[in-house]
Structure 1
Amino acid sequence: MQISSFLLPKEQVAYIPSTISMFEALEILERHSYTALPIIDESGRYVGTLSEGDLLWKLKNTCNLDFEKMREIPVYDIQKHVRNESVIITAAMEDMLSLAADQNFVPVIDSKGIFLGIIRRKDIIEYYNDNITD
């Protein structure tokens, strides 16, 4: 089996453009009810993951930060505390599974680092639950 069979394509994935503000990122997280989302740069490359925790740490550690000032802080200036490692689309299943054990989702990229989508740990568990018998 290839990892592409688990791929949720970019067109179906919520993500955060690297050029938006902290406030806009917060709105995207809230709208989709996720605690973390992949960050994609202007070239379409996966550059990291932004979590609610990253936003909370920035809020805590920035003096007098309010919603208006959050509109001035770009996502790329926020320290990331979660590092979701990506996997190349041609990688072996074992490589993807080892990442999925520690991450809720695994970002999938092509050989140039272009973001193709994600593999959700939930989908892997459901597949094995439905297809593995004793």
Structure 2
Amino acid sequence: MNAAFLITPKSDVKFVYDHWTIRQALEKMEHYRYSAIPVLNKKGLYVGTLTEGDILWSLKKNENLNFRDTEHILLNEVPRHRDIKAISIDVEIEDILETSLTQNFVPIVDDSHVFIGMIRRREIIAYLLKLRSNGDK
């Protein structure tokens, strides 16, 4: 089965832009209770996933930084410690199972690398449970 059937479209996904500040990202992540969030550039291209850990490591490296200073640090200046790759919309579900073991979601892009949505781990698990229950009949 094609992964497109499980995608949560971009219009329903919360994300941040790489020209936003750490503070803007933290506020969005706190509001939605996210520990990781996709990062896009101004053209809508997926550039990576920002995690709480990325922000914490960045703050640790800047010992003199206080919370107010996070208003001046852009996300494109924050090193990301995990390289979470996006996957093409044409991929089969079976091809993303291993990826979903280490991530809460898998970013999905089109042929131009434009972010079009994500597949959440819970949708993958629900799909597998449905397959299993259909196989038991």
Range class of TM-score, shorter chain: over 0.9
Moved more, 90-99 or 102-111: 90-99
What is the 5 A alignment of 1:6-45? 6-45=6-45
Could you list the structure 1 runs, at least 4 aligned residues long, displaced by more than 4 angstroms after superposition: none
What is the 5 A alignment of 1:60-79? 60-79=60-79
Q: Name stretches of at least 5 consecutive residues in structure 1 with no aligned partner.
A: none
What is the 5 A alignment of 1:1-134? 1-133=1-133, 134=136
Instruction: Count residues with an aligned counterpart.
Output: 134
1:119 maps to a residue whose letter is I
Give the C-alpha shift of residue 129 in structure 1.
1.4
Distance 1:94 1:131 in 2: 12
TM-score by length of 1: 0.94
Give the C-alpha shift of residue 95 in structure 1.
2.2
Are the equivalent residues in 2 in contact too, given 1:6–1:124 (CA < 8 A)?
Answer: yes
TM-score by length of 2: 0.92
Q: 1:10-45 CA deviation, whole Å, 9 max, x = no partner?
A: 000011111100111110110110100000100000
Q: Name stretches of at least 5 consecutive residues in structure 2 with no aligned partner.
A: none
Q: In angstroms, what is the RMSD of aligned CA positions?
A: 1.1
Are the equivalent residues in 2 in contact too, given 1:87–1:95 (CA < 8 A)?
Answer: no
User: What SS class does the counterpart of residue 90 from structure 2 fall into?
Assistant: coil
Q: Give the fraction of aligned pairs with identical amino acids, expressed as a percent.
A: 36
1:100 maps to a residue whose letter is S
User: What SS class does the counterpart of residue 106 from structure 2 fall into?
Assistant: strand
